[in-house]
Structure 1
Amino acid sequence: MRERYYTAAWEWGCCGTPLHVGDDVELEVQYESDYAGIMRAELASVLSASLTGVETRHDDDMVVRRGRIVALDGVISDTKWVVTPRTTQDPPIHSMGNGAIVSFGNTAPGEAEGTAVEGTSRLVPVAAVPDADTQPAGTEPDLTVYGEQITAALSGYVITLEVP
């Protein structure tokens, strides 16, 4: 029987050890948490079978699940950023000579706030977790361009186990 578990990239990066297809593992999982429900909904359109639960090291009520890893997938999701100008105390001033001064105004990069775009998750097969090569290029917004921007980033992994 196969079971699929989602783990957030930040969480595995904090407390997980490297995983590879073929490894025998013990995962700390939750089946019916709010987190599991949110991830089931987010990944329903990209998984052939429902997500069994979530792997988490930062919560209570976890169950140890043993099995052999038969597949690993990176989960790529979009983030919507809003970049706003950031003011500086003193705009850069350049002397042009003969007492002439030019002010270049606010040249500081902006500040960005990002929110996940629901329903944009997609899977990319990987050989290991974590896998730095899974991170798409350009995951951060361009702080010199003000307004809305959409970028893709690695949000986590789906671990598929073959369980006895």
Structure 2
Amino acid sequence: MTRVWLTEWEWACCGDPFGVGDEVDFGIESRTAHPVLADVLGPEVLATVDAMESHHEEEFPDRVRGRVVAVYTVTREVIERPSLRRPGHGAPPDATMPPDGGEWPMVGRASGEGVFWGTRPSRYMIEIVPVPGTARLTPTRGVRQAITDQTEQLWSAVDPAADPPPEQRRRTLSGWLVDVQEQAQEVR
């Protein structure tokens, strides 16, 4: 049995969906879990990870091929904290900070006949801070392919001058742990 880590962002953009019982062929970036993953999983769960899957940067010769026997969704808590946008922190480093109460300048272009298309960023941005020790593994039937359309409207899209929402704590998807019963490799 081989336990493989799949990162949420990679599978959200272009991983093929699969479920328990399906045959898989994962490109393996490393047989050693990245230390950063300890912050997500905690040391006990990290010790169970046998391989790190990746399919974005290159074709990896190391493979895990076999039948999926279990899939676990890995979530963790984060704190979403509003902070004032400032140069180098959500705005270009060479940006000029607007005066207190002022708005960031409009970004866009004129399309002719007096029409201007553009956006103005909010005065605030949301920092997402992971909460250590909050990883949760939940058995699931498979891994999805794409990020679904978000039904929640971002607060800053409503009114860029609006006050930010209060700090909040929520649970987010980090990735999946997939247990694979590897097949014996053919010798040629």
Q: TM-score, normalised by structure 2?
A: 0.59
Q: Relative to 1, partners in 2 of residues 1:153 and 1:24: Cα closer, same or farther, differing over 3 Å?
A: same
1:163 aligns with 2:182: yes
Output one character per residue of 1:113-140: Cα deviation in whole Å (capped at 9) or x when no partner.
11222321111111121188xxxxx9x8
Q: Contact 2:15/2:145 (CA < 8 Å) preserved in 1?
A: no
Q: Relative to 1, partners in 2 of residues 1:57 and 1:48: Cα closer, same or farther, differing over 3 Å?
A: closer
Output one character per residue of 1:30-54: Cα deviation in whole Å (capped at 9) or x when no partner.
2136x3x332564356649711121
Q: Any residues of structure 2 matched to 1:3-152 within 5 Å, and which?
A: 3-29=2-28, 30-32=30-32, 35=34, 37-39=35-37, 42-44=40-42, 47=45, 50-59=48-57, 62=60, 63-84=62-83, 87=101, 89=103, 110-130=124-144, 144-146=164-166, 148-152=167-171
SS for the counterpart of 1:112 is strand
CA distance in 2, matches of 1:64, 1:129: 18
Q: Contact 1:46/1:123 (CA < 8 Å) preserved in 2?
A: no
Q: Contact 1:112/1:141 (CA < 8 Å) preserved in 2?
A: no
CA distance in 2, matches of 1:74, 1:58: 21
What is the one-letter code of the residue matched to 2:65? R
CA distance in 1, matches of 2:127, 2:78: 10
Unaligned runs of 5+ in 2: 86-100, 104-121, 147-151, 157-162, 184-188
Q: Contact 2:39/2:132 (CA < 8 Å) preserved in 1?
A: no
What is the one-letter code of the residue matched to 1:149? Q
Q: Over aligned residue pairs, what C-alpha RMSD do you find?
A: 3.5
Q: Contact 2:12/2:145 (CA < 8 Å) preserved in 1?
A: no
SS for the counterpart of 2:132 is coil
Q: Relative to 1, partners in 2 of residues 1:42 and 1:145: Cα closer, same or farther, differing over 3 Å?
A: closer
CA distance in 2, matches of 1:75, 1:4: 13
Q: Contact 1:79/1:117 (CA < 8 Å) preserved in 2?
A: yes
Q: TM-score, normalised by structure 1?
A: 0.67
- Aligned pairs, number: 139
Unaligned runs of 5+ in 1: 90-107, 133-137
